[in-house]
């Protein structure tokens, strides 16, 4: 904790006192912001965790079905069947704000069917796997959105926390220390003047008495 | 001359019968051996060590040809009347002709089916060489009826030849 | 039979496949149908066939020992991936799969096995027999689909061609530039695809697959083998039923089925195509009304207007395998050859299912549910 290198005079003291008042108010505001951010963040994290667990389970299931379906044909036959998909996905990214933090918002539009393959030679479980994958795509995008939001929020919270800490543990204490230092210095100066004055006065009285 | 039957002399009937027996047995055996030999060739390409086990199977449809040949020889040599072929009446020749028929037809058909049975049995040998003995039994059962027909033919020849000899 | 770029096979007109019985009433039990073929004429044929197929059957009989059996299969399902590879070393498949680590290794190994198997098939196919073509032209049609898709849907890259069929893929690529040079049986699908109002990859698959099933029936007739014809017709029927059920689930219309369903099966194509407009339960009931499909369909249920098809492929394959089992009763003929090659292909599919399942950490029970009936195995199902 260090004292600021300023001249200990009344002018600086006034300035510092104003700065300290601003810092304290700022600290309080930032602290409120962080509380709000944390509240939002925890909500998002919970949502993210649930979504992720859900999607991972569904993905595993879909992959299991697909793995079984694809092992009924040679790799080349699978590739041939899925080579040219018909479905087209359009993804647009926008911004939305959570308590002043900008997070992305994705919008997915799909056109065309997922079945781009012949039905006679591919196994029937193909449809099931593809349907599951097809249903999972929008949810994956949703997961990406939530996950990015969580990341952006975490960064924002980190930044705010650093600011709060800087104010709380560095700026405000050092301002206060400097203020008290200047106050002490000024007090001391005053006492010095006073003793000097008293000394001069007593010397004057002594000399006038002697006269 | 009353020595003909249906326009053929006794000698002609005998030749007819003998020829039929040899032809029947020969065709049957040739076909039967062809079938089993084809299969055996395939098996031996994969596993030449099975030759010993397969050889009896390949050979077994050949016996019908031998039976036909035996019948032919029997008819033409042993059954020959002491006074020469010319004394044989058309009726007696016809009897000998009929006596040849069991071998002629039975050997023809049994050799073909024996070839098929042997082909199936060769499949057993292809899987386990140790089964060669068991596998041989199956076509050998078909052989029974070729043997029976040969025995019948011989008995019929002996019975049929008796009146000829006494004439 | 040697492979040739220029195909000189049967010239089959569309007229010869016009024997399609209408409606489910004409469906026969497989066994009854098969017995009908074994009339007096067939018996005469029995005396002709051993000379033709004998050699091939001999070659195959020795190799049949290497097929998977149920005992080995049970051990494979219980083992983990490395143990499974170890067990396979006892069978013919070990050399091909040795050192496999990932799915693509397994695919490549099994592909090499198939290549060698088909090489054997070409070598032993007797002159004048279509058996190799019957079993391999599936890959010609596959390559045709790849090429048509490339042509109609875009890029000119290599594509997932399979060098397993009767035609050289490169020769096929060249021939496609000029449809007049194409083998007779591939002209029909190419022209039909090119005439489509809208060429999507699904249409290409649908049209070519249909021609494939119909062509196989023609080949079987040329071979004069009741057994092969039966096999071709059953697989065509099973594919038709599968297409109908899946089309229903995917919400296709009757026009799609008109192009998708192959002709020549036991159930009339028009009758089947009309079924798609009915509710799922109605459709299953109508299909199940035919004695032929009843056994196959009784396992299917309906869940929120979707027909559950999870087990259909396995059931269908098992049914085909049951039919092939009859081939084992015939010592010499086209039947054991067909049975052996299909048995091997089935083994390859089973191995792929097991090994992929192991790689994806599926439980032995889940794998067992998908594993097909084996050619060697008699007891299951």
Residue A52: band (very low, low, confident or very high) from pLDDT cuts 50, 70, 90: very high
Distance from CA of B73 to the nearest CA of C (A): 29
Note the pLDDT of residue B16. Answer: 93
Q: Which of C209, C233, C240, C205 is nearest to C219 (CA)?
A: C233
Residue in this structure with the two tokens 């022209």, named with its chain if needed: C191
Sorted by where each begins, the domain ranges of chain C are 70-129+311-381, 130-222, 226-287
- Report CB contact under 8 Å: A71, C247: no
- Report CB contact under 8 Å: C331, B120: yes
How large a percentage of chain B has pLDDT more than 70? 94
- Report CB contact under 8 Å: C64, B112: no
Q: Which segments within chain A are labelled E, that is strand?
A: 88-98, 101-111
Note the pLDDT of residue B142. Answer: 92
Distance from CA of C69 to the nearest CA of B (A): 14
pLDDT in tens, A111-146: 877 778 888 888 888 888 888 888 888 889 989 999
C23 torsion bin: left (phi>0), alpha (psi -120 to 50), beta (else): left
Residues of A4-24 as b/e, b for ≥16 C-beta within 10 angstroms? eeeebeeeebeebbebbeebb
Distance CA A73, CA C349 (A): 7
Which residue from C142, C208, C356 is facing A71, i.e. has the nearest CB?
Answer: C356
Residue A203 has pLDDT above 60, yes or no: yes
Sorted by where each begins, the domain ranges of chain A are 25-157
Note the pLDDT of residue C10. Answer: 39
Note the pLDDT of residue C17. Answer: 35
Note the pLDDT of residue A55. Answer: 92
**Closest residue in chain C to residue B54, using alpha carbons only:** C58
Read off the pLDDT of each residue in C235-245 and give the average, rounded to a whole number: 88
pLDDT in tens, C267-324: 888 888 888 888 888 888 888 777 677 777 776 777 766 777 777 888 888 888 888 8
Ordered by where they begin, the domains of chain B are: 8-165 (1.20.120.610)
Which residues, numbered 262 to 321 in chain C, qualify as contacts with chain A under a Cβ-Cβ cut-off of 8 Å?
262, 309-310, 312-313
Residue C378: band (very low, low, confident or very high) from pLDDT cuts 50, 70, 90: low
Q: Which of C139, C137, C119 is nearest to C2 (CA)?
A: C119
User: Sign of torsion, CA C349 C354 C359 C364?
Assistant: positive
Look over chain C and give the mean of its residue pLDDT values, rounded to a whole number: 79
Alpha-carbon Rg for chain A in angstroms: 36
Interface test with B, best of C44, C54, C125 (most B CBs within 10 A): C54
Residue in this structure with the two tokens 């600290």, named with its chain if needed: A27
Exposed, middle or buried, A65 (CB in 10 Å: 0-12/13-18/19+)? buried
Residue C13: band (very low, low, confident or very high) from pLDDT cuts 50, 70, 90: very low
Residue A180 has pLDDT above 80, yes or no: yes
Residue in this structure with the two tokens 């390859």, named with its chain if needed: C348
Contact B103, B71 (CB under 8 A): yes
What DSSP string describes C63-85?
HGGGS--HHHHHHHHHS-HHHHH
Residue C180 has pLDDT above 80, yes or no: no
Distance from CA of C309 to the nearest CA of A (A): 6
Least confident of A147-156, A193-202, B56-65, C245-254: C245-254
- Report CB contact under 8 Å: C243, A64: no
Distance CA C194, CA C212 (A): 17
Name the DSSP class of B61.
G
Least confident of B7-21, C153-167, C234-248, C330-344: C153-167
Least confident of A49-58, A99-108, A148-157: A99-108
What DSSP string describes C115-180?
HHHHHHHHHHPPTT--HHHHHHHHHHHHHHHHHHHHHHHS--S--S--TTSSS-HHHHHHHHHSGG
C379 vs C324, higher pLDDT: C324
Q: Assess whether chains A and B touch, using the rule of 3 or more C-beta pairs within 8 angstroms.
A: no
What CATH code would you report for A25-157? 1.10.287.3240
- Report CB contact under 8 Å: B115, C59: no
Measured in whole angstroms, the distance separating CA A7 from the mean position of its chain's CA atoms is 38
**CA angle, residues B89, B90, B94, in degrees to nearest 5:** 120
Q: Which of C346, C8, C20 is nearest to C213 (CA)?
A: C20
pLDDT in tens, C100-139: 888 888 888 998 999 999 999 988 888 878 888 899 988 9
* pTM for this entry: 0.78
Residue C161: band (very low, low, confident or very high) from pLDDT cuts 50, 70, 90: confident
The answer, for C110 touching chain A at a CB cutoff of 8 Å, is: yes
Least confident of A188-192, B84-88, C114-118, C220-224: B84-88
What CATH code would you report for C130-222? 1.20.1690
Residues in chain B with CB shorter than 8 Å from the CB of C56 are: 42
Note the pLDDT of residue B97. Answer: 92
Residue C33: band (very low, low, confident or very high) from pLDDT cuts 50, 70, 90: low
Look over chain A and give the mean of its residue pLDDT values, rounded to a whole number: 87
Q: What tokens appear for A150 in the block?
A: 């969580």
What DSSP string describes A171-209?
IHHHHHHHHHHHHHHHHHHHHHHHHHHHHHHHHHHHHHH
Note the pLDDT of residue B109. Answer: 93
Whether the complex's predicted ipTM surpasses the cut of 0.85: no
Note the pLDDT of residue C147. Answer: 86
Note the pLDDT of residue C23. Answer: 39
Read off the pLDDT of each residue in C339-348 and give the average, rounded to a whole number: 89
The answer, for C352 touching chain A at a CB cutoff of 8 Å, is: yes
- Report CB contact under 8 Å: C160, A68: no
What backbone torsions phi and psi does residue C374 show, to the nearest 5 degrees?
-90, 160
Read off the pLDDT of each residue in A91-103 and give the average, rounded to a whole number: 85
Which residue from C51, C64, C65 is facing B38, i.e. has the nearest CB?
Answer: C51
CATH architecture of C70-129+311-381: Orthogonal Bundle (1.10)
**CA angle, residues C22, C24, C27, in degrees to nearest 5:** 95
Contact B10, B89 (CB under 8 A): yes
- Report CB contact under 8 Å: C57, B40: no
Instruction: Encode C311-341 in three state secondary structure.
Output: CHHHHHHHHHHHHHHHHHHCCCCHHHHHHHH
């Amino acid at each position: 904790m260090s004292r600021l290198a300023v001249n200990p005079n009344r002018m600086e003291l006034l300035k510092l006192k104003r700065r300290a008042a601003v810092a304290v108010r700022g600290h309080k505001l930032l602290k409120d912001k962080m509380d709000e951010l944390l509240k939002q963040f925890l909500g998002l994290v919970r949502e993210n965790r649930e979504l992720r667990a859900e999607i991972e389970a569904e993905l595993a299931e879909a992959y299991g079905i697909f793995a079984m379906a694809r092992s009924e044909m040679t790799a080349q036959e699978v590739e041939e069947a899925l080579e040219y998909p018909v479905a087209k996905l359009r993804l647009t990214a926008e911004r939305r704000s959570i308590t002043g933090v900008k997070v992305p918002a994705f919008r997915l539009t799909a056109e065309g069917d997922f079945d781009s393959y012949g039905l006679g030679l591919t196994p029937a479980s193909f449809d099931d796997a593809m349907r599951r994958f097809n249903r999972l795509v929008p949810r994956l995008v949703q997961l990406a959105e939530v996950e990015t939001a969580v990341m952006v929020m975490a960064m924002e919270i980190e930044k705010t926390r650093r600011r709060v800490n800087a104010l709380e543990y560095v700026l405000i204490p050092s301002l206060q220390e400097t203020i008290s230092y200047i106050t002490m210095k000024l007090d001391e100066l005053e006492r010095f003047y006073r003793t000097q004055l008293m000394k001069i006065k007593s010397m004057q009285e002594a000399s006038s008495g002697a006269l | 001359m009353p020595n003909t039957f249906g326009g053929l002399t006794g000698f002609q009937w005998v030749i007819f019968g003998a020829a039929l027996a040899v032809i029947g047995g020969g065709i049957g055996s040739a076909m039967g051996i062809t079938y089993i030999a084809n299969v055996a060739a395939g098996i031996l390409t994969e596993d030449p060590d099975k030759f010993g086990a397969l050889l009896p199977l390949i050979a077994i449809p050949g016996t019908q040809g031998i039976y036909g040949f035996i019948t032919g020889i029997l008819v033409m040599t042993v059954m020959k009347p002491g006074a020469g072929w010319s004394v044989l009446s058309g009726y007696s020749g016809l009897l000998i002709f009929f006596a040849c028929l069991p071998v002629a037809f039975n050997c023809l058909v049994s050799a073909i089916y024996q070839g098929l049975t042997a082909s199936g049995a060769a499949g057993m040998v292809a899987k386990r060489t140790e089964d060669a003995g068991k596998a041989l039994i199956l076509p050998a059962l078909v052989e029974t009826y070729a043997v029976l027909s040969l025995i019948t033919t011989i008995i019929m020849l002996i019975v049929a030849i008796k009146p000829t000899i006494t004439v | 039979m040697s492979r040739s770029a220029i195909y000189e096979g049967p010239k089959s007109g569309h007229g010869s496949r016009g024997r399609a019985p209408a409606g489910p009433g004409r469906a026969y039990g497989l066994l009854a149908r098969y017995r009908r073929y074994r009339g007096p004429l067939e018996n005469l044929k029995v005396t002709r066939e051993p000379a033709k197929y004998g050699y091939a059957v001999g070659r195959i009989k020795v190799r049949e020992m290497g097929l998977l059996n149920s005992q080995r299969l049970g051990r494979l399902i219980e083992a983990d991936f490395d143990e499974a590879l170890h067990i396979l070393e006892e069978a013919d498949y070990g050399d091909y799969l040795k050192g496999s680590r990932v799915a693509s290794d397994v695919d490549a190994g099994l592909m090499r096995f198939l290549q060698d198997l088909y090489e054997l098939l070409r070598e032993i196919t007797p002159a004048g027999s279509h058996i190799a073509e019957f079993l391999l032209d599936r890959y010609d049609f596959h390559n045709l689909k790849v090429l048509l898709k490339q042509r109609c849907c875009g890029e000119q890259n290599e594509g997932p061609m399979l060098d397993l069929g009767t035609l050289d893929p490169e020769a096929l690529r060249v021939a496609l530039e000029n449809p007049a040079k194409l083998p007779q049986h591939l002209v029909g699908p190419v022209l039909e695809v090119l005439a489509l109002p809208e060429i999507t990859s699904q249409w290409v698959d649908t049209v070519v697959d249909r021609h494939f099933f119909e062509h196989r029936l023609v080949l079987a007739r040329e071979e004069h083998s009741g057994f092969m014809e039966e096999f071709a017709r059953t697989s065509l029927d099973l594919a038709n039923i599968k297409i109908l059920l899946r089309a229903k689930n995917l919400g296709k219309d009757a026009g799609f089925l008109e192009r998708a369903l192959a002709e020549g099966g036991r159930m009339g194509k028009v009758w089947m195509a009309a079924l798609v407009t009915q509710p799922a339960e109605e459709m299953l009931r109508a299909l199940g009304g035919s004695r032929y499909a009843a056994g196959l369909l009784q396992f299917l249920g309906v869940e929120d207007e979707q027909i559950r098809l999870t087990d259909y492929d396995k059931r269908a394959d098992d049914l085909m395998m049951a039919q092939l089992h009859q081939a084992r009763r015939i010592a010499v003929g086209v039947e054991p050859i067909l049975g052996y090659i299909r048995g091997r292909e089935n083994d390859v599919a089973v191995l792929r299912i097991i090994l992929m399942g192991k790689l994806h950490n599926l439980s032995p029970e889940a794998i067992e549910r998908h594993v097909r009936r084996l050619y060697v195995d008699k007891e299951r199902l």
